[in-house]
Amino acid sequence: SAVISQKPSRDICQRGTSLTIQCQVDSQVTMMFWYRQQPGQSLTLIATANQGSEATYESGFVIDKFPISRPNLTFSTLTVSNMSPEDSSIYLCSVGRDPGELFFGEGSRLTVL
């Protein structure tokens, strides 16, 4: 298993500002993932955070809006830039460990006013 800590657990932000979410894992992992969980919708993969290289973004997500850092094998950050109310969501960090299994942090609930 993996223990994943996310900060902040929740925040209320003003339109036009940016927020950085931190994800800390209790052991080294190769791949870390960032998901968005919008109310009443599926979890959607934003990007894969790779250590030592740029993140790989899914269709519909761009680096300018969601810059990601991965400075080492246990830590990653996701920034939500120039926020709008449409960015209100839960952002989840996850890691892959056993074949085909993801472990999730508790999520960061973001509300943009």
Partner 1 sequence: AQSVTQLDSQVPVFEEAPVELRCNYSSSVSVYLFWYVQYPNQGLQLLLKYLSGSTLVKGINGFEAEFNKSQTSFHLRKPSVHISDTAEYFCAVTPGGFNKFYFGSGTKLNVKP
User: What is the binding site for partner 1 (CB under 8 A)?
Assistant: 4, 31, 40-45, 48, 92, 94, 96-97, 99-107
Task: Annotate 2-57 with DSSP letters as a single string.
Answer: --EEEE-SEEEE-TT--EEEEEEESS--SEEEEEEE-TTS-EEEEEEEETTSPPEE
Closest distance of CB 3 from partner 1, Å: 11
Would you say 43 or 81 has its CB closer to partner 1?
43
The amino acid at 24: Q
CA-angle at 102, arms to 82 and 57, nearest 5° = 35
Closest distance of CB 97 from partner 1, Å: 8
Would you say 3 or 82 has its CB closer to partner 1?
3
Closest distance of CB 107 from partner 1, Å: 6
Would you say 81 or 104 has its CB closer to partner 1?
104
Closest distance of CB 59 from partner 1, Å: 11
Query: What helix, strand, coil percent values describe the chain, rounded to 5?
Result: 5, 50, 45
